[in-house]
Structure 1
Amino acid sequence: MSLPERFLVAMLLVFSVPWLVWRLGRTDHWAPLVVVQIVAGILLGPGVLGALQPAVHAAIFTPEVITMLGGVALWAVTLFVFIAGIELDLGQAWQHRRESSITAGLAMGVPLLAGCGAAWAMMGLSSGWIGPQGRTWQFVAGVGMSCAVTALPILILFLEKLSLLRQPLGQRILRYASLDDLAIWGVLALILMDWHRVGRQLVFLLVYMLLAAGLRRLMPRLTERDRWPLALVWLIACALGADWCGLHFMVGAFLAGASIEARWFDQEQLDRMRHQVLFLLMPVFFLSTGLKTQWGVGGSAVFAAAAWMLLASVGGKLAGVALAGRLLGWAPGEARLIGWLLQTKALIMIIFANVLLDKRIITPDTFTALLLMAVASTMLTIPQVSRQLRGGAAGAQPV
């Protein structure tokens, strides 16, 4: 086959197989299409298809095809993280700062500590989890934050599906997730801080703040037709600058989005753009992610590590939100409902783990375990929340 044919076969697999499984298997209640696409990416990777049919895998996923897929995946995840930054609503969080800070702090802090404990235990059992460029504190903090992540864009999709997005409860949950999302990227920037290039990083942050201030003055004066082209130029410049200084292009993409107000754009158009990126581009990112999975320390060890981190992640998130609910006097059942929604991992954690893998802070085996944990965490959300809603959880209507 020619190179275009190999590339198109790979694209055919990644777009057709997950959709057929999702549609014919009617998995939407426990595994939305985005989760099926992530699982398909894993199955098409070297750990499954590559092990079962190495000749087929090698014939399709040649180095040239992987490079082409990687370019599409890079642009897809850059756009996705940018939109996630735009969707942050820190103004609402500030208006309800006491409740938001307590809930967001405990919802992130408790699973972060639990995840760090899980990482220490993993290091004690084997040295095959930490990457060659990773320091102990970077590995522990990276795994801990992976356990604490809430996937804001996927949370929005789930809230839409559950008819909670426009309810007061849904808006509260978005406030909590927004603060956690901001903290997640701050911690990632700290983990990636390169003291050999700290001068570059300071220059980037200074230039970013100056240009962001100018952008915020200019944007409201433009028509919406001109805002999107300028926003994309701003995105590319920030991603390039962040990667140049060693912070990683995804950090720059998030900073580009965080400096832009969602109210500058039509909300329906922003929602459509998020859905289109998820539908048209992100499946390629899932496939590219699946091609990075490995089982070098053994399949059973990877699954055991994933289960261990899942326990720390879900248990820590539910415990943290339950403590917040007790301190703030929430109605019975409310904390459990919010806790299950906030423990959704999916894309943001996978993106976070990709950065750690790219920087060689974690090994492919750790990456695979984190990926499995993210999938399991996300698959638990809808069934658990639906059961809570049927039981009449406070602040929401049953679906």
Structure 2
Amino acid sequence: MLTTTELYLIAMLAVFGLPYLVWRLGRTDYYAPLVVVQIVCGILLGPGILGAALPELHATVFSPAVISALNGIAWWAVMLFVWVAGIELDLHEAWSQRRDTAVTASLALGMPLLAGAIAALALLAWGGGWIGPAASPWQFVSGVGMACAVTALPILILFLEKLGLLRQPLGQRVLRYASLDDIAVWAVLALVLLDWQRIGRQAVFLVGFSLAAWMLHALMRRIEERDRWFVSMIWLAAVSLAADWCGLHFMVGAFLAGAVMDSRWFDQARMDLFRHHVLLALMPVFFLSTGLRTHWSMGGAAVLMAAALLLLASVGGKLAGVHLAGRLLGWRRGEAALIGWLLQTKALIMIIFANVLLDKQVISPDLFTALLLMAVASTMLTIPMVAPRLAAHRGETEHPARPVAGPGSMER
């Protein structure tokens, strides 16, 4: 009989070994980087796939004690990851290009949000198995709509780096749009989670958080960087605890903890390395933990149809919004399609967002599974759709005689 420790280590072997083998031997990097493969493997190891095929093995390896241990690591991993995402938001550049950023970001968020809300209404009309037991219809519609509008900033950075765009004008523009949408995502999530029974606690949290953030800034300016890292971990845990206490969820607190911090307090190379280490050593456990929450009780066909509907709303809405922005701002031909597909990256932040909705019983486990599949599919489409368009766009920009249009142009 295997001990809990041995079962836990078997689970960890699966968490790190299976995705790496699939990624490396299958050479999936073009359409599915390692982080996406890890998410897919988490789904495969969940109760809907492995649990259905080998129920005894699944129940033995993923016992309640093992799941509890994995969840503890997963919670801290995602808190660290969201905290870093909050720190890396750069609104200074967004403000300097505010017309272009505001128009594009609002349309790139608003159109898929609207399309996702319509899809959510269709799911409500389909049957009651998609909405969570604690949700009102407006919470469900708003949550699903925003899930369709999310762009995962950390994955976008990874893709831009892979494509050689991260430090280029086009890459910086896309990051501006995604950064503004990132703030809107968490604002909508806070609104969806607003608890009128605990509104007093939430008001206390906001007042206390504002005061504490001011004190944090005063402290951070007076201490060395090595001390800032330790203070940051204390700050992260404290804000996450306070947010969870008032009903906003600890992930909202983790994002807020990072969002009020100045990235200039830390060496950029060290922060990049820290994010890399979190992705390498901790986040795979979160992906497995997420996969263990997937359910197919409404049937595989129903879940896949729901995922397809959400994917259509997400991709179609995002492309429509960005194309409209391009027309209004006078972008070069082809830029709208390029930017629209780059903003399709949803894995990680959308999965974190969906986890919160599931925790708060806004959505059902079946819809959580459909959202997870939609996020994976949307992210996997990004590189194959962007690469040929980027090659064509770079080819066009090699002709100096071609006129450059308006403030939306890549050429500066």
TM range (shorter): over 0.9
- After TM superposition, give the deviation of residue 138 of structure 1 in Å: 0.5
1:389/1:396 contact within 8 Å kept: no
**Which residue of structure 2 lines up, in the alignment, with residue 288 of structure 1?**
289
**Which residue of structure 2 lines up, in the alignment, with residue 87 of structure 1?**
88
SS of the residue 2:221 aligns to: helix
1:111/1:315 contact within 8 Å kept: yes
Structure 2: distance between partners of 1:264 and 1:191: 32
The equivalences for 1:210-289 within 5 A come to 210-289=211-290
Structure 1: distance between partners of 2:171 and 2:263: 17
**Which residue of structure 1 lines up, in the alignment, with residue 170 of structure 2?**
169
SS of the residue 1:392 aligns to: helix
Deviation by residue 1:291-343 (Cα, 9 ceiling, x = unmatched):
00000111000000000000000000011011011101110111111111112
- Gapped regions of structure 1 (runs ≥ 5): none
Report how many aligned residue pairs link the two structures. 397
- After TM superposition, give the deviation of residue 396 of structure 1 in Å: 7.2
Amino acid at match of 2:240: A
Q: CA RMSD in A?
A: 1.0
After TM superposition, the score normalised by the length of structure 2 is: 0.95
Residue 140 in structure 1 maps to residue 141 in structure 2 = yes
Structure 2: distance between partners of 1:195 and 1:37: 38
Identity in percent: 68
SS of the residue 2:47 aligns to: coil
Structure 2: distance between partners of 1:76 and 1:235: 12
SS of the residue 1:150 aligns to: coil
SS of the residue 1:221 aligns to: coil
**Which residue of structure 2 lines up, in the alignment, with residue 152 of structure 1?**
153
The equivalences for 1:1-399 within 5 A come to 1-392=2-393
Deviation by residue 1:360-384 (Cα, 9 ceiling, x = unmatched):
1100000000000000000000111
Structure 2: distance between partners of 1:381 and 1:190: 30
- Gapped regions of structure 2 (runs ≥ 5): 398-408
After TM superposition, the score normalised by the length of structure 1 is: 0.98
Structure 1: distance between partners of 2:287 and 2:8: 15
SS of the residue 2:219 aligns to: helix
Deviation by residue 1:194-226 (Cα, 9 ceiling, x = unmatched):
000000000011000011012122212221111
SS of the residue 2:282 aligns to: helix
Structure 1: distance between partners of 2:206 and 2:93: 25
Structure 2: distance between partners of 1:97 and 1:180: 13
- After TM superposition, give the deviation of residue 175 of structure 1 in Å: 0.7
1:164/1:396 contact within 8 Å kept: no
